[in-house]
Structure formats: structure tokens, C-alpha cells
Amino acid sequence: MSLNALDSLIETLKRLPGVGQKSAQRMAYHLLQHDRLAMPRLAEALTAAAERIKHCERCHTFSETPLCAVCADPQRDGRLLCVVETPADQAALERTGSYRGYYFVLLGRLSPLDGVGTRQIGVAELLARAAEPGVEEVILATSFTAEGEATAHVLTEALKARGITSTRLARGVPVGSELEYVDLGTIAHALTDRR
């Protein structure tokens, strides 16, 4: 079969995260057989997103404008600055509806072995941002993984050296979980941080 276009579609679909050979084949066959209309739509959405989505000058999250909607909103609480690893993390925090301050998106986490140092995650910009007048507390909301914790530790020290207060998201038992099935490290943290 002279399926160069099909093969290259399958190969390209495999670049999506979580998509292997089988899923890519299924996607390609599905589109061609059942949803041809989605193909130009998806092509347009990809092109538009690649062209229009840049990073906010102030917080580095994804934005189509120089300043993202959060940073451009004067109604937010300027005393709070929340540091997250990715725009996806920021979106999750926003969806909770329980945070009204500003953000700073690292676009990564410290991982020296992968060549990600303080420069790559913009620590200097973060320190400058945190030193702006009005900022009273930097909330470190990096992941609770080894790399996320290391990143939080480095940031805490750097902020402390400049006299800026930082806090960390609470560790504890997730909502909806039965204690029996929660890992011991989490229970230990929940005990220590009880209130």
C-alpha cells in the first residue's frame, strides 16, 4: 500500500505523550474512517496554538498576550505569590477557586542531571519578582517529589537570604482517602502538621 501519508501521520501522532504505535494507528484509522472533519480542525488548532501561545512576561505561564489574564488582573491579592512548576499546575490551582494571589511558573524543576539548573527555571526572575513592593508571602507549590522538594528547598534558602517569607503547601492525607490505604510518609507528615 502506498501509504506514505498514513505512515507519517501515525509516526507524528506517536509524538503525543502516552501514544504508542497501536494508539497512533487507532487514532489515524479512526480519523480517516469516521472523523475526517476533525483532521483540518486539529491541524488548524495546532497551528494556531503554536503561533499564538507564548509565555507571560511576568509569570511565564502560557499566554496569548504579553501579560496573562491573571497578571493583568488588578483585583488579585498582590501580597501573595505562588510558585508552581508548570502552567498545568497553575491551572489546577486556579480551578480550586481558593487562591486569589499571583503566580510564578518555573516551567520546570531543578534537575542537575538533566541540565536544569537555577538559570533554566528562572530563579533570578523569581527573586526579583518576589522582592517587588507589596509581596508578603511566597507560597512554594512545587511537586512533592524528590526534585520538586529539592527545588522548594533551594528557593526557600534563596528567598530567606533576601529576607522574604516563604511557605510550602501543606502535606497531609488527601481528601476522600481512608487512612488505612495512605502511605506511611504522608500519615507521618499529617501527624506532625496536625492543627
- Where on the chain is the footprint of a copy of itself (CB under 8 A)? 1-6, 8-9, 11-13, 15-18, 23, 25-33, 35-36, 38-50, 52-53, 61-65, 68-70, 86-88, 91, 94, 107
96-110 burial, b at 16+ Cβ within 10 Å, e below that, comes to eeebebbbbbbbbbb
Q: Which is nearer to a copy of itself, 52 or 100 (CB)?
A: 52
For a copy of itself, the closer CB: 111 or 156: 111
We find the least distance from the C-beta atom of residue 125 to a copy of itself, in angstroms, to be: 17
Query: Least distance in Å: CB of 111 to a copy of itself?
Result: 13
CB 25 within 8 A of CB 10: yes
Q: How far is the CB of 84 from a copy of itself (least distance, A)?
A: 12
Q: Please give the distance of CA 58 from its chain centroid, rounded to a whole number.
A: 15
Given the complex with a copy of itself, which of 49 and 131 has the nearer CB atom?
A: 49
For 119, the grid coordinates are 538559570
CB of 24 to a copy of itself, least distance (A): 10
Instruction: Quote the Cα angle for 14-20-23, to 5°.
Output: 95
* Residues 127, 6: Cα–Cα separation, whole Å: 49
Nearer to a copy of itself, 23 or 156 (CB): 23
Min dist CB 193 to a copy of itself, Å, is 29
- Residue nearer to a copy of itself on the CB measure, 89 or 164: 89
Which value, to the nearest 10 degrees, does the dihedral of the CA atoms of residues 176, 83, 60, 132 take?
Answer: 140
Question: Rounded distance, CA 70 to CA 82, Å?
Answer: 12
